[in-house]
Amino acid sequence: MITILDLILRLAVWLLLAPLLPGIINKVKAWVAGRRGPPALQLYYDLAKLWRKGVVMSTLASPGFIAGPAVAWVALTTASMLMPLGPTGSALSFPGDVLLLIYLLALARFCTAWAAMETGSAFEGMGAAREVSYAVLAEAAIVAAVLSLSVQTGSVSLVTMLLPSAGAGAVLLAAGLFTVLLAENCRVPFDDPNTDLELTMIHEVMVLDHSGPPLAAILHGSSVKLLLFAVLLVQAVLPMRELPPLAAAGALLAGVLAVTVGVGLVESLLARLAFRRVPLLLTTAFLLCLFALLVAWKGGAK
Amino acid sequence: MSAGTLNLLIGLAMGLNLLALASSRLPSLIRAMSLQGGVLGLMPLIMEHEALDWRVVTVALATMIGKGLIIPWLLRRAMRAANIEREIQPFLGHVPSLLLGAGGTIAAVALARALPLLPEHAGTLLVPGAIASMLTGFILLIGRVKAISQVCGYLILENGIYLFGLLLIHSTPLLVESGILLDVTVGVFVIGIIVDRIQRAFDSLDTRKLTTLRE
């Protein structure tokens, strides 16, 4: 009974809090630009509106067009259940769950790309190709980051990996993971979420032909993914175990808020990179995580 | 305490190596190089902070001023005088050279563990930092087209040699240190003039054009 209640509570926290993050990012951007900006709850209104609308389907598309976003949303939600939340641990925890987390993220990406290809539109195929080719480099970085955490703590379970601090390589790891967060969630130096031009879009162009509830699932799923990466980044860097439970929860909240504001600031102060410069930045993120791995390995060997 | 700070500084210098490999514009390459020179200048002060004598202080000050201020200034002047566009065109792309540099850095750390070092040097990153900087210098020398970026490669190579020299800071006479620094400064000075000449004679600083014979 307790476990079911715990699971429901966690689901509620993840699913209800996640759409707040893009709202905060937009508020920060508006504040830097001196505008009032949309309300912080805008994504909730959008999701409610989309949920009531009907679905327009291309005659070319197979049921995969609907199934793709649904599977992606379920995969991201399951991934969020694996992620520990500060002092409360995680709902599902077993040795090796970190691998499942990485594969669930990959499954979500595959399904979004698949649904994008279903429409038979050239733009969507282009967006899917870009998304997947960036993901190759971003995944290398996140695997290096996970390896460094795993070497640091000598375990492959997220709960024991994330709770101690990342040690001497924490700064490197934080920088690398933040870059990966920006790339994975299609934020500014890699992709512009507000762009209107199909030729320069990546994530936006993949969801161009979706409408109604599937689009709501995609938008909500991407906000869950943003929250997931923010929580991962904060817990990888902060020493959660040394803090008392309340302070740890507070630190987690403050950290996620700081990461979100940081994303907003990066988005207001940087322009997006030219496409040919993106692999260089992602390689840098990979190297940052790789050197964090080296520091963990050398520190552990002593 | 001092070993930790020293390792941090050498780590910073290694990071600057990679920054130099990744930078796509000449001013940022020069900035990375001059910052590295300044960081290297600080090191003798930290290594010898108990027995600070005037020789060590002179070496440190001369390095910081020479590598951190005078040489970058000369390079920037040459760049302005020769009117070079600031984009760097590499033979070797930025991503491959960055990966090569990172691989070299890791290999240097691994190699230094296998070397028979004195016990007081075994804990520091001095030797890996030196090898990594020299490798970075070589990659820049081989992989870049413009004469000025090759000069930066040469200077990073020299920074690596200077790191090696720090192992022997007590036994090297001041004359040798100052001689090396003077050589480097004069070398950059001469290269600044040559760059200007190349630019006038060939209308470009592309060193590939220097291999074709002309009447």
Whether residue B98 and residue A277 make contact (CB cut-off 8 A), yes or no, is no
Q: Would you call B18 an interface residue with chain A, using a CB distance cutoff of 8 Å? A: yes
Q: What's the pLDDT at B86? A: 67
Asked if A290 lies within 8 A of B102 by C-beta distance, the reply is yes
3-state SS, residue B146: strand
pLDDT at A295 over 90: no
Compare CB distances from B94 to A280, A290, A298 and report the shortest one's residue: A280
> Scanning every residue of chain A, which has its alpha carbon at the shortest distance from the alpha carbon of B101?
A287
Question: Is the pLDDT assigned to residue B95 strictly greater than 80?
Answer: yes
Could you give the number of structural domains in chain B?
1
For residue A302, the model assigns a pLDDT of: 39
| pLDDT tens-digit map of A9-18 | 999 999 999 9
Q: Do A298 and B22 touch (CB under 8 A)?
A: no
Give the residue among A152, A160, A148, A168 at the shortest CA–CA distance from A241.
A160
A92: tokens are 């599902």
Domain span at residue A81?
2-301
**Element housing B178 (H / E):** helix B174-202
pLDDT of A301 reads 45
Grade residue A109 by pLDDT with cuts at 50, 70 and 90: very high
Which residues in chain B have Cβ-Cβ distances shorter than 8 Å to A284? Answer: 18, 22, 98
Cβ–Cβ contact B95 with A under 8 A = yes
Select from A173, A191, A195 the least CA-distant residue to A290.
A173
Bridge partners (DSSP) of residue B90 are B144
Nearest-CA neighbor of A268 among A276, A260, A277?
Answer: A260
Residue A246 pLDDT: 87
Whether B95 and A280 lie within 8 Å, measured CB to CB: yes
B153-204: pLDDT as tens digits:
888 998 888 888 888 777 777 777 777 878 888 888 788 778 777 777 777 7
More confident residue, B167 or A132: A132
Return the percentage of chain A with pLDDT > 70, whole number. Answer: 97
Phi then psi dihedrals of residue B206, to 5 deg: -70, 115
pLDDT value at B150 more than 50: yes
d(CA A262, CA B69): 34
Exposure string for A113-128, b = 16+ CB within 10 A, e = fewer: bbbbbbbebebbbbbb
pLDDT tens column, A28-74 = 999 999 998 899 999 999 999 999 999 988 888 888 899 999 999 99
pLDDT tens digits, one per residue of A77-99: 999 999 988 778 788 888 889 99
* CB-closest option in A277, A283, A298 to B98: A283
Q: Which domain holds residue B165?
A: 2-211
pLDDT (tens digit, 9 = 90+) per residue, A251-262?
999 999 999 999
Structural domain count of chain A: 1
pLDDT reported for residue B6: 82
Cβ contacts from A onto B, under 8 A: 23
| Contact (CB<8Å) B98/A298 | no
* Predicted confidence (pLDDT) per residue in B133-142, tens digit: 999 999 998 8
The pTM (predicted TM-score) of the whole model is 0.85
Mapped to the 3 state alphabet, what secondary structure does chain A carry?
CHHHHHHHHHHHHHHHHCCHHHHHHHHHHHHHHCCCCCCCCHHHHHHHHHHHCCCCCCCCCCCHHHHHHHHHHHHHHHHHHHCCCHHHCCCCCCCCHHHHHHHHHHHHHHHHHHHHHHCCCHHHHHHHHHHHHHHHHHHHHHHHHHHHHHHHHCCCCHHHHHCCCCHHHHHHHHHHHHHHHHHHCCCCCCCCCCCCCHHHCCHHHHCCCCCHHHHHHHHHHHHHHHHHHHHHHHHHHCCCCCCCHHHHHHHHHHHHHHHHHHHHHHHHHCCCCCHHHHHHHHHHHHHHHHHHHHHHHHHHHC
Mean pLDDT of B39-60: 79
